[in-house]
Amino acid sequence: MTPTLTSTTSTTAATGPRLVEPRGTLSAAVAEALRSNDTPAYRPGAVLTADPWGEDLQLALYLLYELHYRGFEGVDDDREWDPELLRLRQAMESRFLHALSTELSDVPRSVEEAFAPLLVEPLDPAGGLSRHLERKGELWQLREYAALRSLYHLKEADPHAWVIPRLRGRAKAAMAAIEYDEFGAGHPDRIHAQLFADLMVDLGLDPAYGRYLDQAPAPLLATVNLMSLFGLHRSHRGLLVGHFACVEVTSSPGSRRLAKAMRRCGAGPAAERFYDEHVEADAVHEQVVRREVIGGLLADEPSLEADIAFGCAATVHLEDRLAEHIGAAWADGRSALRTPLNTRDS
């Protein structure tokens, strides 16, 4: 029987995140193209001269990637596969990847070397940020941290799900098992993204998807763009697995510190629960991802070892850059957001 389409015309998200203000010529070209349903107007040279770490390029990439998640209010869903937008995205991705490989030219090429430092408990992959929050973080800093991280945690595990069709056997089964937990193991109220939304409510933040995009600086956007970039390309499956493994391996100790910070500041039960849940779950995920996902993928495709190692190193590098940004702002008593939160957020 031939399936019947409910509509042959394209659909447009009626609700969802709103497009945000551009931060330069590239993000203006993307935002305007999405708003007007037209092709993006930019000089090709603009990508070549853009700062790969800057606000403009990182926001432009973020807007384009978001078309593969939930899109934007009033933007045609079919823009996800618009060849002109994809061409621009590809040019910016090359710039981003080139900058990454330049900064990480000396990284280990073996999985063992890449992960060894992360398995030592005292190492804080986020440049000491969770240690700071655990010991002397203040409530306003926890709120800023959560508002920033919401750009990922409200779609937690989504970019990693894209790798599943690209794996087989042990790696696929293990990846799906971990993702099953991340997506609530059959319970919508236990989806990790939902647990994070509950945490945000405890902290007096607005849990609407994409709510803090406008306030998120480039170093945060880069951390989310990295996983979208790795997740959307089959050719980057090794990088994506390296990224995922890095997150799982470092999550448990970091979450323990953040759970303590939430408790010490009296953030609330849902705020504690999100991190408590990750202390336990990720201790298990760490084992499964190392043994089965990485082990299974390497058994199938040994040539991906350097990619897995690079994916891990790139994740640590971007977390360090973000921690540096946040740490510098807080050390000066400034907000780490582009504009500070209001008292009860919103």
Q: How far apart are CA 132 and CA 110, in angstroms?
A: 31
Longest dimension (CA), the chain: 66
**Total number of residues shown for the chain:** 346
Task: Please name the amino acid found at residue 42.
Answer: Y
Q: How far is the CB of 130 from Fe ion (least distance, A)?
A: 15
Name the 3-class secondary structure at 264.
Answer: helix
Count of other CB atoms within 10 angstroms of residue 109? 13
- Selected from 79, 166, 192, 237, the binder of Fe ion by CB under 5 A is 192
Stretch that binds Fe ion, among 184-192, 199-207, 295-303, 331-339 (CB under 5 A): 184-192
- Selected from 282, 286, 292, 307, the binder of Fe ion by CB under 5 A is 282
Name the 3-class secondary structure at 12.
Answer: strand
Q: How far apart are CA 241 and CA 18, in angstroms?
A: 31
Stretch that binds Fe ion, among 52-60, 176-184, 257-265, 291-299 (CB under 5 A): 176-184
- Under rule CB under 5 A, which residues in 83-112 are in contact with Fe ion? none
Q: How far apart are CA 190 and CA 274, in angstroms?
A: 10
Stretch that binds Fe ion, among 59-67, 163-171, 201-209, 278-286 (CB under 5 A): 278-286
Q: How far apart are CA 72 and CA 80, in angstroms?
A: 11
Query: Measured from the CB atom, is 251 or 335 closer to Fe ion?
Result: 251
Backbone CA torsion sign across 234, 27, 328, 156: negative
Q: How far is the CB of 255 from Fe ion (least distance, A)?
A: 9
Q: By CB under 5 A, is residue 256 in contact with Fe ion?
A: no
Query: Measured from the CB atom, is 72 or 183 closer to Fe ion?
Result: 183
Q: How far is the CB of 261 from Fe ion (least distance, A)?
A: 18
Query: Measured from the CB atom, is 132 or 192 closer to Fe ion?
Result: 192
Query: Measured from the CB atom, is 55 or 202 closer to Fe ion?
Result: 202
Query: Measured from the CB atom, is 157 or 213 closer to Fe ion?
Result: 157
Q: Which residue is nearest to Fe ion (CB)?
A: 192
186: region left, alpha or beta (phi > 0 left; psi from -120 to 50 alpha): left
Query: Measured from the CB atom, is 20 or 262 closer to Fe ion?
Result: 262
- Selected from 79, 95, 243, 285, the binder of Fe ion by CB under 5 A is 285
- Under rule CB under 5 A, which residues in 4-43 are in contact with Fe ion? none
Asked if 5 and 70 count as a contact pair (C-beta separation under 8 A), the reply is no
Q: How far is the CB of 227 from Fe ion (least distance, A)?
A: 13
Q: How far is the CB of 242 from Fe ion (least distance, A)?
A: 15
Query: Measured from the CB atom, is 63 or 293 closer to Fe ion?
Result: 293
Query: Measured from the CB atom, is 193 or 309 closer to Fe ion?
Result: 193
Q: How far is the CB of 36 from Fe ion (least distance, A)?
A: 37
Sequence-distant (6+) residues with CB within 8 A of 210 are 16, 17, 18, 66, 70, 151, 154
Q: How far is the CB of 94 from Fe ion (least distance, A)?
A: 30
Site size for Fe ion, by CB under 5 A?
4
Asked if 25 and 56 count as a contact pair (C-beta separation under 8 A), the reply is yes
**Residue 164 CA to chain centroid, in angstroms?**
17
Query: Measured from the CB atom, is 239 or 293 closer to Fe ion?
Result: 293
Name the 3-class secondary structure at 76.
Answer: strand
148: exposed, middle or buried (Cβ count in 10 Å: 0-12, 13-18, 19+):
buried
In the complex, the residues that contact Fe ion under the rule CB under 5 A are 182, 192, 282, 285
